[in-house]
Structure 1
Amino acid sequence: MAKSKLRVLPLGGLGEIGKNMTVVEYDGSIVVVDTGLRFPTAEQVGIDLVLPDFTYLRERADDIEGIVITHGHEDHLGALPWILRELGTDIPVYGGPLTMAMARSKLDEHRLKDTDLTDVRPGETLELGAFDIELIHLTHSIPDMMAVALTCDVGTMLITGDYKFDQTPVDGKPADVSRLAELGREGLLLLCGDSTNADRPGFSPSESVAGPNLEAVFGRCEGRIVVTCFASNIHRVQQVVDAAKVHGRRVVLVGRSMRKNINIGRMLGHIDVEDGTFVQPREARDFPDHKLVIVSTGSQGEPLSALRRMAHRDHPQVELHKGDTVVFAATSIPGNERAVNDTIDRLYHIGCDVITARDAPIHASGHGYQEEIKLMLNLTRPKYVMPFHGDYKRIHLHGQLAESVGVPAENVFKGENGLPLELDGDGAAFGSRERAGMIYVDGVDIGDPTDVALRDRRMLSADGIFVVVATISEQDGSSVADPEIIFRGVPYPEDAEGLLGDIRGAITQSLEKAAREEIREVDLLQQVLHDDLAKFVYDRLRRRPMVLPVVVEV
């Protein structure tokens, strides 16, 4: 009897940076690795979050043995509440203690309290259906980062999550290189590796180099210092606290996620802070500027983040002024450069000095460079390689790196979301494409991935809306009252009164034409009005506002 195929289906994270989610399937058992989200682009107007389309799992929810989370970053953990709400809170979730503490906090916010969250230590193994699962400690820009090794009858595959080979990590716990090498000796079937920095040669700098450089930067600042970084970068906050202590400054945490994550980090022993170091934002006014460091969210220019609001003078507790220094202890995620540059520009307009990683080595990437990707490949010696976590360019470059260390080109699979890789004793090949895409979160609701609301929002943001209310006779379809016309956001010339008169004339002509053609159904009348008025407005204004005709019969 032939063995079942091991099936690896990425639902997010390939061809993009963010919303990482992978379905691993064998002999009727499913394990989901990571449930990430990403933040919307400028074109996704009014959307709050973007999730992977997990429609494939809706019909297979009973087959899901568990969800394993590699680490606590939003692009690997953030979609968990929505996925559990849709698929069932009885699905068990596994990860490191910090990762699970962050997941618990996130689920509490969504009032999902029945989920079974299990802390797993490095080296511990789980039996989930047809899979034996092992979590392997790696280093990243957040503690408790672990790769996931999944073993079934076909062989062992490794999903690295995000990693770098940091020899001097802030917490003193380097990656478990010996276990990775053992996997290589035992025979690794498939490596699904992080591609984020596949375009950067050499080795990434150690996270520990940022601490002394932050201390040196602080020594040059005379006024307040505002440091912005990811709320989950607990090690970076520890380095900021240590630098503040050296210079006799108190620390203010600004941003709900920043305060929440630092409290979790302190509780689990990942961050060590002396009593009295932190002060509340409302108490900060009692301290002179040269005695304060503010640690804030907003390093990616997120619209509602604390730093963005400060830059737009819209923050209720912190008002920036000339003499403040803002330190960006993070680099832009690809795609966020425009929002970050806009924030920096606003800060200069206020009179702040701005220091970024270009100006001083105050940030180290959490993702390995090319030599570290090669090291992972050489340690694990996989038979097949499927680059993960990157846009198509980085996936392509990761594939080239695999070939450079001896992996045959035909064994490198450069995939994309929705394209499953199927492996058995005879080889590996891509299978039939499955549905994969995006689900939008608008407020607290999740919408259909083909939601036309986005298109409407783009139209509204570009050319506005034009509403017409026409009142007609039920008997003969003739107009019985002057039409009402409402413009919102439509750029129109100074002679708007004349334009409105012409539009009323166009409406009357359209209705008379419909009456002659004996068009009586309201839906058809509205369609005729829409087409005639859209053409008229474009001819006059060279704009395409959203036209909403409303026909009332009396």
Structure 2
Amino acid sequence: MSPSTLRVLPLGGLGEIGKNMTVVEYEDRIVVVDTGLRFPTADMMGIDLVLPDFSYLRERADDIEAIVITHGHEDHIGALPFVLRELGQDIPVFGSRLTMAMARSKLDEHKLREVELEDVEAGVRIEAGPFDIELVHMTHSIPDSRAVALTTDLGTMLVTGDYKFDQTPVDGRPADISRLAELGKDGLLLLCGDSTNVDRPGWAPSESGVGPRLEEVFSRCEGRIVVTSFASNIHRVQQVIGAAAAVGRKVALIGRSMRKNVNIGRSLGHIVAPEGLIINAREIEDFPDHKLVICSTGSQGEPLSALRRMAHRDHPQVELHSGDTVVFSATPIPGNERAVNETVDRLFQIGCDVITTRDAPIHASGHGYAEEVKLMLNLVRPQYVMPFHGDYKRIRMHGQLAEAVGIEAQRVFRGVNGLPLEIDKRGARFGDKEQSGMVFVDGVDIGDVADVALRDRRMLSADGIFVVVATISEQDGSSVAEPEVIFRGVPFRDQADELLDEIRGTVEASLERAAEEEIREIDLLQELLHDDLAQFVYERLKRRPMVLPVVVEV
């Protein structure tokens, strides 16, 4: 690849919703746009977070000029501490004021205090090696969202980040359409655009329309109101505060991330509340139910979130009861529907009223619908299009919208994670695939996607475990005590109890065969026992529990 080739390598965010991360290379120098994560699916037993596999950057850490973050949502900023811990704290990080405040809070939690975080105003240019970087103001469901324009000698590419064209945003600052049009007039080389809502026709409703709807809902409620939304949706929290003030209620913030983000939002002027309106969680019992709104995390049914704990009567400060109304001011992220439905059902069991987006227009997506995607394409008129931020269906539909507004099909590149797009003066093409995928965070440790621990957890969750302890003679390898059999989580336990004698008999037979064949090595004995027992258990139970043989010599 020639040094004058612009190389765009997505490490996350294509073919999936979440863990957005893009490597942009020119003249052997690198700018990384976003370092996101996503949350584990139900089959990822015990996994806390899922990161993009950024091993490609480990060998290239010295070539990285900057990391640029488009906005403060976890799927764009959440992996930043893990990336910097692996690649080094000397890489400068750029973003808007709110985004960098959220990054600093996140890095402080990980004790990464040496990182250079730089607030960059929209329109200000940053020089980073061969790159000229500009942030363009956009509207989304969090303030201070930015698109990233990266200019090289070859031309300018634009990574939109997440966006919608909200003409009446809560903070009164619509997207900088004029700057986008200027980029288009000057000639945009490549557009990497958000695909999240390309499958929804029309225009996304304005965020500012949610506030009056919340006030209507609040005015009809007689007991306590619990509103759950994304903690990072600072505009939504502001509207909850406004609606609560309008109906004469106090607001309590529940959930660590909710309190943290609201504090950051208040310090930067994004959240304004009348004096005394926001109360401490400890004061909840001091106010009658009809005077309270509780703003909580847990809109996605996350296992340890505040609302989930309330639904399971496990929250130390809020005990829900009949007469409470729980308002879901968010829609489930694809994959979270089951967890959300379980939480809703538990709330009904307690006796709560539950209001979701099906019942009232109390949520507005932060991602533009199909007409807004077309508007973006027409504003910037890119030479090439590479749809980002979506599963394969949405990436394909984004490409179809690009063709519908007149961009030739051969100039639309529907990529996948790890497949770089290479552009030079001769044109654009996909390059050779690089390593990409998922990296798991379990507790504080980072593990490989192929980690056998995850496979073992799935096996344990499905079919349980057999532990067999066999005691043999050191002299001749014969069994000197009755084998001990322990099992946990094995289906058909009663049937398994009846099989104990047969299991012990299988162990004895295996040990006799090993003694006859003069197999003495512990590892070989345990392997033999494992194979014989696994075959026997499958034949009798039609299950494949984990079999752990332990051989003790005396």
Partner of 1:504: 504
Per-residue CA deviation, residues 456-509 of structure 1 (Å, 9 max, x unaligned), is 000111111111111111221111112221111112343654322221111101
Q: Retained in 1: the 8 A contact 2:157–2:191?
A: yes
Does residue 473 (structure 1) correspond to residue 473 (structure 2)? The answer is yes
Partner of 1:439: 439
Partner of 1:331: 331
Cα separation, 2, equivalents of 1:496 and 1:409: 61
Cα separation, 1, equivalents of 2:154 and 2:365: 35
Cα separation, 2, equivalents of 1:89 and 1:482: 58
AA aligned opposite 1:70: T
SS at match of 1:470: strand
Partner of 2:526: 526
Deviation at residue 510 of structure 1 after TM alignment: 1.0
SS at match of 2:81: helix
Structural mapping, 1:283-432, within 5 Å: 283-432=283-432
Deviation at residue 539 of structure 1 after TM alignment: 2.1
Q: Retained in 1: the 8 A contact 2:3–2:26?
A: no
Partner of 2:260: 260
AA aligned opposite 2:287: F
Structural mapping, 1:8-157, within 5 Å: 8-157=8-157
Structure 1 residues without counterparts, runs of 5 or longer: none
SS at match of 2:115: coil
Deviation at residue 333 of structure 1 after TM alignment: 0.9
Structural mapping, 1:143-292, within 5 Å: 143-292=143-292
Per-residue CA deviation, residues 113-160 of structure 1 (Å, 9 max, x unaligned), is 000000001001100111000000000000010000000011100000
Cα separation, 2, equivalents of 1:467 and 1:413: 53
Cα separation, 1, equivalents of 2:109 and 2:68: 20
TM-aligned CA distance change 1:307 to 1:472, over 3 Å: same
AA aligned opposite 1:506: T
Deviation at residue 203 of structure 1 after TM alignment: 0.4
Structure 1 stretch displaced more, 137-146 or 273-282: 273-282
Cα separation, 2, equivalents of 1:101 and 1:545: 48
Deviation at residue 80 of structure 1 after TM alignment: 0.3
Cα separation, 2, equivalents of 1:2 and 1:470: 64
Cα separation, 2, equivalents of 1:478 and 1:511: 7
Q: Retained in 2: the 8 A contact 1:3–1:424?
A: no
SS at match of 2:149: strand
AA aligned opposite 2:47: I
Structural mapping, 1:532-543, within 5 Å: 532-543=532-543
Q: Retained in 2: the 8 A contact 1:167–1:174?
A: yes
Calculate the TM-score normalised by the size of structure 2: 0.99
Cα separation, 2, equivalents of 1:337 and 1:14: 21
AA aligned opposite 1:335: G
Q: Retained in 1: the 8 A contact 2:3–2:28?
A: no
SS at match of 1:190: strand
Per-residue CA deviation, residues 53-100 of structure 1 (Å, 9 max, x unaligned), is 000000000000010000000000000000000000111000000000
SS at match of 2:494: coil
Cα separation, 2, equivalents of 1:497 and 1:263: 57
Structure 1 stretch displaced more, 271-280 or 61-70: 271-280
Per-residue CA deviation, residues 407-435 of structure 1 (Å, 9 max, x unaligned), is 00000000000000000011000000000
SS at match of 1:467: strand
Cα separation, 2, equivalents of 1:350 and 1:10: 45
Cα separation, 1, equivalents of 2:432 and 2:73: 31
CA RMSD across the alignment: 1.1
AA aligned opposite 2:443: G
Cα separation, 2, equivalents of 1:371 and 1:75: 24
SS at match of 1:148: strand
SS at match of 1:101: helix
Structural mapping, 1:451-462, within 5 Å: 451-462=451-462
Identity of aligned residues (%): 77
Cα separation, 1, equivalents of 2:222 and 2:538: 57
Cα separation, 2, equivalents of 1:3 and 1:483: 67
Deviation at residue 3 of structure 1 after TM alignment: 5.9
- Number of equivalenced pairs: 554
AA aligned opposite 1:468: V
Cα separation, 2, equivalents of 1:430 and 1:495: 57
TM-aligned CA distance change 1:2 to 1:89, over 3 Å: closer
AA aligned opposite 2:125: T
Cα separation, 1, equivalents of 2:173 and 2:539: 68
SS at match of 1:156: strand
Structure 1 stretch displaced more, 43-52 or 281-290: 281-290
Partner of 2:484: 484
SS at match of 2:134: strand
AA aligned opposite 2:375: L
Q: Retained in 2: the 8 A contact 1:223–1:324?
A: yes
Per-residue CA deviation, residues 183-228 of structure 1 (Å, 9 max, x unaligned), is 0000000000000001000000000000000000001111000000
AA aligned opposite 2:377: L
Cα separation, 2, equivalents of 1:150 and 1:165: 21
TM-aligned CA distance change 1:271 to 1:503, over 3 Å: same
TM-aligned CA distance change 1:2 to 1:66, over 3 Å: closer
Deviation at residue 106 of structure 1 after TM alignment: 0.3
Partner of 1:449: 449
Deviation at residue 273 of structure 1 after TM alignment: 0.9
Cα separation, 1, equivalents of 2:144 and 2:252: 25
AA aligned opposite 1:551: V
AA aligned opposite 1:410: Q
SS at match of 2:191: strand
SS at match of 2:35: coil
Cα separation, 2, equivalents of 1:496 and 1:415: 50
Deviation at residue 336 of structure 1 after TM alignment: 1.0
